[in-house]
Amino acid sequence: MKTATINTDTNILSENGIQFPSKVMLDLHNLKKVYPTPKGDYVVLEDLNLQIMKEEFVTIIGHSGCGKTTMLSMIAGLNPISGGNIAVLGNPVKGPGPDRGVIFQAPSLMPWMTALENVLLGVNQVFPHASKKERKDIAKYYLHKVGLDGSFDKKAIALSQGMQQRVGIARAFAIKPKVLLLDEPFGMLDSLTRGELQDILIEIWNKEKITAVMITHDVDEAIFLADRVVMMTSGPRAKIGDILNIDFERPRTRKSVLEHDDYYKYRKHLIEFLEH
């Protein structure tokens, strides 16, 4: 007898396995990554399954070298998939594209362009039919949102690391991606700047509600930003070890999160996982 697997919250599969419109934005299914080495294959990821819902903010935490960045760059389409598949709204990922915006660890701005030109580079690509002024307005709007009002025409190289990463955030949001992928975007910043940028990120995110997947090393950052914190096991053959739901209300403030009764419970959960 055939049985239909019904999950009220995520996928609705019919009897023949066709996926109906669902809340799933990003679906990683039995994902595998193998790097061939002279000593034989090195399996980074194996049997990795993860579903990320629309308008969800997921942070991924795990030990260095466990394959978090590999996973993220596979979602971005920058790294080929060895096995399994990744789908965005049911469409398999075949390569990079502007439906998946990426904020890299290094700001990766073109140093010879101004802040505005850097953002426009993406906007021009995504909205080729908009007028020049409209495109400029989009870029300016997002630069304004990240607090760079006075720096539109500054060369990227003249900006501080934190300001550069702000431009990176503006560039990623301005192309209106379906999924936002963040690879430790604040890892290189000092803790004060990091806090500022987390606030800016979450403020824009609250407005745009773009599905976000963010890698971080920082437990507090993971809790503050996320709806779910995904913990990855250490490699090789890394997979999802545990998932923690963070039930704080949105919009959140840093203060309300820190003062919440569950905060230290969540924190303890994550640290215990990482220490094992």
Partner 1 sequence: MKQSITLNKITQLMGFGFLKPITALFTGKPQKEDIVNFLKKIIVPLLSILLFLGVWQGGSKALFNKEANFKIEKALADQGQAAADEIRACIASGEISCQPNTLPSPSQVWTSFKTLLEDHKVISADKLAFKEKTAVMNEKRIAAGKEPITYTGRPSFVDQIFTSLKTVFAGFLLALVIAVPIGVVIGLSTTLRSSFNWLIQIFKPVSPVVWLLLVFMIVKTLTKDSNSDSAFIISFISVGLCSMWATLVNTAMGVSSVDKDYINVAKVLKLGPMQKVFKVILPSSLPLIFTGLRITLSVAWMVLIAIELLAQSPGLGSFVWEEFQNGAIDSNSKIIVAMFIIGIIGFLLDRIMLTIQNMVSFNKNEGV
Binding site for partner 1 (CB under 8 A): 76-78, 95-98, 100-102, 104, 106, 108, 110-113, 121-122, 125-126, 155, 157, 175
Tell me if 122 sits within 8 A of 171, measured CB to CB.
yes
Quote the strand ranges of the chain, DSSP E.
Answer: 24-37, 40-53, 57-61, 83-88, 91-92, 100-103, 179-183, 211-215, 228-232, 240-245
Least distance in Å: CB of 231 to partner 1? 26
Nearer to partner 1, 92 or 251 (CB): 92
Tell me if 104 sits within 8 A of 167, measured CB to CB.
no
Least distance in Å: CB of 247 to partner 1? 33
Nearer to partner 1, 94 or 268 (CB): 94
Rg of the chain in Å (alpha carbons): 19
Nearer to partner 1, 110 or 258 (CB): 110
Distance of CA 121 to the CA centre of its chain: 21
Nearer to partner 1, 152 or 263 (CB): 152
Least distance in Å: CB of 103 to partner 1? 10
Q: Which residue type is seen at 54?
A: K
Nearer to partner 1, 89 or 106 (CB): 106
Least distance in Å: CB of 122 to partner 1? 5
* Residue 159 in tokens: 């900006």
Tell me if 93 sits within 8 A of 77, measured CB to CB.
yes
Instruction: Report the candidate in 229, 173, 253 with the shortest Cα–Cα distance to residue 165.
Output: 173
Least distance in Å: CB of 23 to partner 1? 25
